[in-house]
Amino acid sequence: MDHFYNRVPKVDGFSKISFWREEEIGIIALLYPGKLGKDTVEELIKAISLASVDDKISGLVITGTNGYFSEGLLVPQRIAYADFRDYYQTLMNLIFVILSFDKPLISLVAGKAKNNGISLALLSDQIIVSENSKFIWDNNEPFVLLSTISFKDRVKIEGNGLHVQSLTVKDENALGDGFNLSKSIVKMINPNSRKYRYSGYDRLILEEEINFLDFYLWCEKC
């Protein structure tokens, strides 16, 4: 089943991700290295919105390419409040779209997820990982995408690494096996639980925004 991952299709209207349907499952593949820049996040919003109204899609899988799920945020290069506020607004829009998505959402991590790439995966109903997947947080990003809650609930520190609550498939055919597992569990997932998990999320979004702006814009001489 790896054929659709090895040759990710180019899709009109998308340059940072690919989006297609395999049987009844919609697939979003973040193109290497999966950095969450504003344009990438906007394409994620577009793809999830399309999947929500496609009657042929019963569930959605978000994955990565070339051994990477996502390396985390790609913030504006210009250090200006307006640019960072606009970028965070785009992240907020992604949260709203995911929480209102009324179909099962699965993250398939076959490789590395770093910083808020982990936060993106944690927004899904279920995470599937390969045996040697790595989750890395190096403290070079603030917690966003509601990870202030999700890290406490679904992530544990084990030695020098992170353990994320997930289902595991073997490395040899991780993407194909992960897709097959997604098909088998999609009917058992209640997407409404996503909303319950983040009850009161509007307050948390504002707190994360303050921390985000402080993290990137604060300086002693400002």
The pTM of the whole model exceeds 0.85: yes
Residue with structure tokens 């994320």? 164
89-107 confidence digits (pLDDT tens): 999 999 999 999 999 999 9
Domain ranges for the chain: 3-217
Determine the pLDDT at residue 160: 74
Determine the pLDDT at residue 9: 84
Determine the pLDDT at residue 3: 47
Is CATH 3.40.50.300 the right assignment for the domain spanning 3-217? Answer: no
Q: Are 168 and 145 in contact (CB under 8 A)?
A: no
151-167 confidence digits (pLDDT tens): 999 999 887 789 999 99
Determine the pLDDT at residue 7: 66
Determine the pLDDT at residue 10: 87
* Regions of the chain where pLDDT drops below 70: 1-7, 219-222
Q: What is the CA radius of gyration of the chain?
A: 17
Q: Are 95 and 202 in contact (CB under 8 A)?
A: no
Q: Which residues contact 44 (CB under 8 A, 6 or more apart)?
A: 17, 28, 30, 62, 94
